Amino acid sequence: MVSLSLRFCSLLALVPLAAVGSVIPRADAYDYIVVGGGSAGSIIASRLSENSSVSVLVIEGGPSHEGEVDLTIPYVYPRTFRSRFDWNYTTVPQPNLGNRPGIYLRGHVLGGSSSINGMTLNRAPASDWDKIASYTGDSSFRWDAILPYIKKNEGFNRPPNTPEYANTYDPAVHGFNADKIGNTLVTDGNWISQPALQAATEVGINYVRDVNGGLPVGISWQQFSTKDGSRSSAATAYLSAGILSSRTNLKVLLNAFVTRLLPVSGTDLKFTTVEYKDASGNTVTVSARREVILSAGVMSTPIILMRSGLGPRAHLQANNITTILDVPAVGQNLQDRCGAAAVWSVNATDTDDDIDRNPAVFNRWLNQWNQNHTGRLTQMSYRQMIFGRVPNNASIFSGGFQDPSSGPTCPHYELYPANKWTSPTTPQPATGNFVSMNIFVSASNVRGTVTLDPTNPLTGNPVIDPKYLSSEWDRYVMRDAVRTSVRYFNAPAWKKWNATPVFDTAILNSDAALDAWISSSAFGGVHGVGTARMGPANSPAGQDVVAPNFKVKGVSGLRIADTSVFPFVINGHTMGATYAIAEKVSDLIKSGN
Ligand SMILES: Cc1cc2nc3c(=O)[nH]c(=O)nc-3n(C[C@H](O)[C@H](O)[C@H](O)COP(=O)(O)OP(=O)(O)OC[C@H]3O[C@@H](n4cnc5c(N)ncnc54)[C@H](O)[C@@H]3O)c2cc1C
Ligand SMILES: *[C@@H]1O[C@H](CO)[C@@H](O)[C@H](O)[C@H]1NC(C)=O
Ligand SMILES: *[C@@H]1O[C@H](CO)[C@@H](O)[C@H](O)[C@H]1NC(C)=O
Ligand SMILES: *[C@@H]1O[C@H](CO)[C@@H](O)[C@H](O)[C@H]1NC(C)=O
Ligand SMILES: *[C@@H]1O[C@H](CO)[C@@H](O)[C@H](O)[C@H]1NC(C)=O
Ligand SMILES: *[C@@H]1O[C@H](CO)[C@@H](O)[C@H](O)[C@H]1NC(C)=O
Ligand SMILES: *[C@@H]1O[C@H](CO)[C@@H](O)[C@H](O)[C@H]1NC(C)=O
């Protein structure tokens, strides 16, 4: 295990007591209450409290991120899975994943999933934002209107000023606000970058200068939310110990589990009261003078709405919850990006495999990280990423099938090569060096659900059914992505490393065999959206959950801002897009909209 370094002990001492749950809020004491101090919630609370005349309370279910080494060293993030920093959700058994239930990771800590995630920083392709704008009828979601919010959120770290990295990013699409979310390329000169880039050229994958320029299809350098060798999260950047101790108008309540929102008595449907269980299990209510902003994430936000009587009537009735407003869309339209990993052995010796299986190697890198925050633990095992599309002449399109992606510059799938064994469904061998292709179906047209646990509707975990790979389209894309991966690792660039698949390539001979391999290898995703989706300002409450100003339709005093509002799958990793909407909603609230 990683041991606490002295550096962290001193950080612990900096946490102001008021921020760690010692404050019992008095009713009506806050202008705004943010439910969930996660990726979106941390930003919103921080932005609103920039005005010292405005008081803000954050109610977060998990503990603080401060001083936690597993939330600081980038490489070790998988240690947080199934720890006290994870909500420990599971999906229902997935028929297209061999009937296996999947783990559904979600951060249970200040910073939310941004405190435990893989740090790949994407913003979604431009056409995804343009599609949201056209679906909602609100042009302020267009790519060119969102870009300023993206830049506002970002502290881009330029790679070394050497010819090798000259064309690996486009400064015009980045923000350089050093106190915000760090964004860093891995530039360690590791062996894998050369074949990873050359193989793409050899199989006809075009080079993209900047994955975050809006046109990601092709191969590009990955960008990661790290800064000075450590993780950079919504909590480290927006709710740092320094910010918490300097703002008396901002309180963060930790280890407080929000059960539901209550309508203000005597009003029609004004939802400004929050009910939660404090760390000792007492039920407490607290009210906002102005608004509640629900930012509990794609799984918890719909569950809190349902417990509050805002959801599909029949489902609430089945759980003995009185319906206050019938909102059929709550918990529906869950879209996610199903993943799988395929592995090749290589005769390169400088892979990350030994870091994972040999404590002596790990400890050597840990010592270096402790010394000056450099070395292999400052990064993950990825350096480049590929966004791809199934070809226009693919058989799936022949019967008049409509491409569900947001347009011809939107990816259908994502691939990223890793410098080690990454398959979670087959154990890493005790010896050998490997590279893996991590594969995600991006432009999914499957829609799943999140519902209440009928055995414990009031405090139970959400019942999550993403329905992975349940459409012919999603299965087609996954097959195409696996076949592209094999073609890629067959390219001449990998020959000098003797890249050899560790799976039987006979799976490629038939769709049935490939489906069987996918069914046993796929492991679900972490990029859920849509369970409280946004729609046009004038769509009926119930068809969509929030309006383009993030206000919940049909009630007052309540907004939702987190990944649950995206009306469609994001064709990239979701953190960056979530940050953008958090900046946007903060601006709307501050300007009185
Ligand atoms: C393991 C993992 C790896 C990932 N890798 C990447 C990646 O590399 N790149 C990327 O872009 N995206 C990645 N993602 C996805 C991305 O992190 C999320 O989509 C995004 O952070 C979600 O932001 P959010 O604000 O909607 O929710 P969250 O950040 O999850 O925030 C929700 C917050 O609400 C709190 N909360 C929930 N319920 C309650 C309750 N009842 N009471 C009180 N508090 C509550 C939670 O504790 C949490 O702090 C990953 C996610 C995970 C989990
Ligand atoms: C700060 O908030 C107060 C109270 O809501 C408001 O009157 C004032 O205009 C705000 N200041 C700015 C700069 O927005
Ligand atoms: C998740 O499970 C782990 C392992 O059982 C446990 O230690 C942790 O407390 C759980 N997380 C939560 C939020 O309960
Ligand atoms: C709902 O209430 C009925 C009658 O009290 C009870 O039998 C049933 O178990 C309850 N259902 C749930 C989901 O709590
Ligand atoms: C960091 O420390 C390592 C030794 O652990 C050393 O090799 C390296 O040069 C140092 N790097 C910097 C930037 O100080
Ligand atoms: C699609 O076009 C490519 C390139 O033109 C060709 O090689 C391939 O055979 C075509 N596929 C189908 C299914 O027609
Ligand atoms: C790796 O394998 C290739 C192909 O077999 C071979 O040419 C190369 O010499 C090998 N390299 C090492 C370091 O063994």
Strands (E), 301-368: 310-311, 325-326, 339-346
Report the phi/psi class of residue 272: left, alpha or beta, with left for phi > 0 and alpha for psi in -120 to 50: alpha
**Model confidence at 189, in pLDDT bands (50, 70, 90)?**
very high
Confidence check: pLDDT of 387 > 80: yes
Please tell me the distance between residue 558's alpha carbon and the centre of ligand 2 in angstroms. 20
Please give the number of the atom of ligand 2 that sits closest to the Cα of 51. Answer: 1
Please give the number of the atom of ligand 4 that sits closest to the Cα of 318. Answer: 13
pLDDT given for residue 29 in this prediction = 81
Q: Are 118 and 226 in contact (CB under 8 A)?
A: no
Confidence check: pLDDT of 487 > 70: yes
Q: Which residue among 70, 81, 82 has the greatest number of ligand 3 atoms within 8 angstroms of its CB, and so is best to mutate? A: 82
pLDDT given for residue 265 in this prediction = 84
Structure tokens at 230: 């450590």
Residues 6+ apart with CB under 8 A from 277: 256, 257, 259, 283, 284, 459
Identity of the residue numbered 142: R
Average of per-residue pLDDT across 356-377: 98
**Which residue CA neighbors atom 2 of ligand 6 most closely?**
393
Report the distance separating Cα 173 and Cα 212, nearest Å: 7
**Which residue CA neighbors atom 4 of ligand 7 most closely?**
498
Q: Are 588 and 550 in contact (CB under 8 A)?
A: yes
Confidence check: pLDDT of 7 > 80: no
Please tell me the distance between residue 433's alpha carbon and the centre of ligand 7 in angstroms. 13
Confidence check: pLDDT of 317 > 50: yes
Please tell me the distance between residue 500's alpha carbon and the centre of ligand 7 in angstroms. 12
What percentage of the chain reaches a pLDDT higher than 70? 95
Report the distance separating Cα 588 and Cα 593, nearest Å: 5
Confidence check: pLDDT of 524 > 80: yes
Residues 6+ apart with CB under 8 A from 62: 84, 85, 107, 108, 109, 110, 112, 254, 255
- Which candidate, 564, 461, 497, 513, places its Cα nearest to that of 61? 461
Ligand with minimal distance to 249 CA? 2
Residues 6+ apart with CB under 8 A from 191: 348, 350, 497
Residues 6+ apart with CB under 8 A from 110: 37, 42, 60, 62, 63, 64, 65, 66, 235, 239, 252, 254
pLDDT given for residue 124 in this prediction = 97
Cβ(391) to ligand 6 under 6 A? yes
Cβ(118) to ligand 1 under 6 A? yes
108 assigned to active site: no
Is 15 annotated to bind ligand?
no
Max distance between CA atoms of the chain, in angstroms, equals 75
Is 258 annotated to bind ligand?
yes
Mind listing the pLDDT tens digit for each residue in 123-178?
999 999 999 999 999 999 999 999 999 999 999 999 999 999 999 999 999 999 99
Mind listing the pLDDT tens digit for each residue in 391-424?
999 999 998 899 999 999 999 999 999 999 999 9
Cβ(51) to ligand 2 under 6 A? yes
pLDDT given for residue 266 in this prediction = 77
Confidence check: pLDDT of 15 > 80: no
Mind listing the pLDDT tens digit for each residue in 75-133?
999 999 999 999 999 999 999 999 999 999 999 999 999 999 999 999 999 999 999 99
Q: Is 562 exposed, middle or buried (0-12, 13-18, 19+ CB in 10 A)?
A: buried
Report the distance separating Cα 487 and Cα 505, nearest Å: 11
∠ CA 123-125-129 to the nearest 5 degrees? 85
Mind listing the pLDDT tens digit for each residue in 459-475?
999 999 999 999 999 99
Please give the number of the atom of ligand 3 that sits closest to the Cα of 87. Answer: 13
As a whole number, the mean pLDDT across the chain is 94
What percentage of the chain reaches a pLDDT higher than 90? 93
Please tell me the distance between residue 557's alpha carbon and the centre of ligand 2 in angstroms. 19
State the DSSP code for 320.
Answer: T
Please give the number of the atom of ligand 6 that sits closest to the Cα of 395. Answer: 13
Ligand with minimal distance to 109 CA? 1
Place of tokens 């979600």: 106
Ligand with minimal distance to 31 CA? 2
Report the distance separating Cα 246 and Cα 194, nearest Å: 47
